[in-house]
Structure 1
Amino acid sequence: MSRSTKALAALVLAGAAGFAAAQAVQGSSPGSPSTQAGSMRQVPDDPAPAGQQQGGIQGQNIFDVKPEVKRDAPADPGYMEQNNGQRNRVQPGNNAPMWRGVQKGVEGYTSLPKSEAPEAGVLIQGPVQYPGSRMTTAGEAWRQVRNNWIVPYGGSLLLISILAFAIFYFTRGTIGHNPAVGGGGRRIERFTPFERAAHWSNAVAFCVLGISGIVMAFGRHFLLPVLGLQLNGWLTYVLKNLHNFFGPLFAVSLVVIIVTFIKDEFPRKGDLGWLLKLGGVFSKSGDEPPTHRFNAGEKVVFWIGAFVLGLVLVASGLVLDKLVPSLVYVRETMQVSHMVHATAGVLMLCITGLHIYLGTIGVKGAYRAMRDGYVDEAWAKEHHAYWLEDIQAGRIPAQRSSDGMAPPAETVKPA
């Protein structure tokens, strides 16, 4: 027999032996020794859906997957009937007590260091009850507070505030009789260039943060149905980044605002009377009770809106941005910071919304005073009579900045 003939015969014999072995494996009974050793059965492929060809990725119902028929399952007999103790010996960690512990916040093993991942071993946070939530896992408790309280009641409060301002404007109208300039008397510098720069920097940052915060919190309820999923997602993404960029500007300008104006924001003579009469807005004459440079209403906005809520917003925002050094940033810290940030943001929007209304269309001449920095004696006497008395007595200079004298009256058009 030639060498080539011998090689061909050997190849045929090897193929026949392999085919016979495969047939023996497929034909073995479930009770055969080979099957008992592996305690595994081959899982047949699911039938292809109607109208589709065989092959490709097949789907399977998770409830139909039995551990004992999968190659990575243990081979112990009676696997599905094991109690927790037996299961823990076969598959440590895959038992009911272990998973109940996971749901209660029990920490497991992780190779990550605590300094880099302080709660990497905690799969699910333990039960907690935040204000307004049930006793449940912390993530679910935070979700309940946000979706059941902050979003519906915060949004309603904003709408009520806007509606109240509109009703007041159309029923009461603009407060005051004299424009900021052109009403008579000498020109008085009410705000220096530095004060106006600080105010407008803070105002622009606040408006950007307020609008972006409203869209992120409530946009899916009133913008998503109008803009659609794609455009609303793009808008929210842009505003989120603007929120992060303008946050530091708001924080710095807020501190400047507080330091600059705090000396004139403490209670003084006339504040209690102004509060009792609500600034005279409901009186028949419309005359405003005399006050110093800032009335009691402006002081309330400063102390509650800027000092308390503003600093709370800045502090919680720094935590959410992970900018506070030496602070351990875990999920609970971020959840509490978000709830505080969102609540303070809604309240500050309402209070500062009143300030914006009065400073623009609510009080005649108020916007012009902040824009140009000057008011006439007639305006000062109508809104801040005690402040004008101090200026006339020489206790306060009429011109506080060093940018020269006030502009002549004929160059300033009446508001």
Structure 2
Amino acid sequence: MTIVSRMFAALACLLLAAAAWAQGSAPQDSAKAQQERAVTQPGNNQPVWSEVRSGQPNYTSLPGREMGVLVQPQARFLGQDKFTTAGEAWRQYRNGPIIFYGGWLVVLVALVIAALYFGRGPIKLHDKPTGRLIERFSGAERWAHWTMGISFVVLGITGLIILFGKYVLLPVIGYTLFAWLTALAKNLHNFVAPLFMVSLLVFIVMFVKDNLPKAHDFAWFARAWGMFMRGEHIPSGRFNAGEKAWFWGGVVVLCLIVSASGLVMLFPNFEQLRSTMQQMNVIHGIAGLLVIAASLGHIYMGTIGVEGSYQSMRTGYVDEIWAKEHHQYWYDEVKSGTAASGDTAKAGAAPQASH
């Protein structure tokens, strides 16, 4: 072995010995530092912070649930790979999958509606209106619909601002205006919500009977593609199967979920746990984005998507040709006098529909 080789071997042995000494002394130095800190800074050492992050309650002079828990225990939401503190898990879930997938869902639905409108165009009447009008919605029904609808739009817009504003609006309008807009959105969201909940219950009671499933609803679903793409006439009752799907899926299920979860967050003074509030926020966000996306289709079909639809909810009346082409079975019931509401009116005896 040459002198150079011996020198390299000796140097390697020295390095290995130094590394072994450092590894052996590091825990001792760390333990010594913790002991010294326990004397000089008794509330700022590793055992204290480990206990803080354990999720176990400690002493506090303030009464209330979880008052003695500074940091929540480890948790994870559906789809998350690893555990972290519950608050961080909620933050990552809200700012990750909910915003990403929910945002794209709303955008894609809007794009599909735009493609349908500019590609296919509105569904128009096949025959010329006669001027003979039929009452489709009573004044009370329209009041319930518009109260719920307007409050829903306010909640939807303010909810989108709260959820997506940081990423979409803040870079455009700046911090000052965004802070003002978000504070306004939060207050509107909180104070309009009770009005929406009450009107929602009234609306469900008013319209549940006419939205019960019927045998002909299956035929409507089977031929729905032809109606959307070619304007085919599909007989239906007072509400077609698509409207019933919106009623049960959007109004009853999703809106009630949004309302219930919103109530839990709106009134946190019933000693809800932080985990309960986080779970309700996740449920509220998912259900809210789903119902907003679904409502875009309902709003489109009820305004510019189907000729004469908006007129029916604005004035309460439709031309008999509209009723016959879109709701044949309901039209037959009205003509025979078996419908619960909807009386044929002569031209001039009721507000005239504009087509």
Q: TM-score, normalised by structure 1?
A: 0.73
Give the drift of 1:347.
0.2
Structure with greater helix percent: 2
Give the drift of 1:393.
2.1
Question: Which residue is 1:414 aligned to?
Answer: 354
Partners of 1:237 and 1:316 in 2: CA distance: 21
Return closer, same or farther for 1:259/1:407 CA change in 2, 3 Å cut-off.
farther
Question: Which residue is 1:162 aligned to?
Answer: 110
Return closer, same or farther for 1:372/1:92 CA change in 2, 3 Å cut-off.
same
Greater C-alpha Rg: 1
Question: Which residue is 2:180 aligned to?
Answer: 234
Amino acid at match of 2:57: E
Question: Which residue is 1:192 aligned to?
Answer: 138
* CA-atom RMSD in angstroms: 2.6
Amino acid at match of 1:220: K
- After the TM superposition, which residues 237-386 of structure 1 pair with which residues of structure 2 at under 5 Å, given as runs? 237-278=183-224, 280-282=226-228, 284=230, 286-322=231-267, 327-386=270-329
Partners of 1:102 and 1:411 in 2: CA distance: 69
Give the drift of 1:409.
6.2
Give the drift of 1:213.
0.6
Give the drift of 1:348.
0.4
Q: Residues 131 and 347 of structure 2 are in contact (CA less than 8 Å); yes or no, is this contact kept in structure 1?
A: no
Q: Tell me the secondary structure at the aligned position of residue 170 of structure 1.
A: helix
Partners of 1:314 and 1:348 in 2: CA distance: 12
Return closer, same or farther for 1:231/1:87 CA change in 2, 3 Å cut-off.
closer
Partners of 2:42 and 2:248 in 1: CA distance: 58
Q: TM-score, normalised by structure 2?
A: 0.85
- Select which of 70, 77, 97 maps to 1:130: 77
Query: For structure 1, which segment, 231-240 or 99-108, has the greater mean C-alpha deviation from structure 2 after superposition?
Result: 99-108
Question: Which residue is 2:168 aligned to?
Answer: 222
Return closer, same or farther for 1:406/1:232 CA change in 2, 3 Å cut-off.
farther
Amino acid at match of 1:103: R
Count of aligned pairs between the two proteins: 327
Give the drift of 1:84.
6.5
Give the drift of 1:274.
0.6
Return closer, same or farther for 1:260/1:83 CA change in 2, 3 Å cut-off.
same
Partners of 1:287 and 1:79 in 2: CA distance: 82
Query: For structure 1, which segment, 147-156 or 190-199, has the greater mean C-alpha deviation from structure 2 after superposition?
Result: 147-156
Amino acid at match of 2:303: T
Partners of 1:396 and 1:169 in 2: CA distance: 33
Amino acid at match of 2:226: G
Q: Residues 178 and 379 of structure 1 are in contact (CA less than 8 Å); yes or no, is this contact kept in structure 2?
A: no
Amino acid at match of 1:366: S
- Select which of 122, 145, 149 maps to 1:203: 149
Partners of 1:212 and 1:89 in 2: CA distance: 52
Deviations 1:244-290 (A, max 9, x none): 11101110010011000000111113100110111632454x22210
Give the drift of 1:414.
2.5
- Select which of 147, 153, 158 maps to 1:212: 158
Structure 1: where are the runs of 5+ without partners? 1-77
Aligned residues with identical type, % of pairs: 46
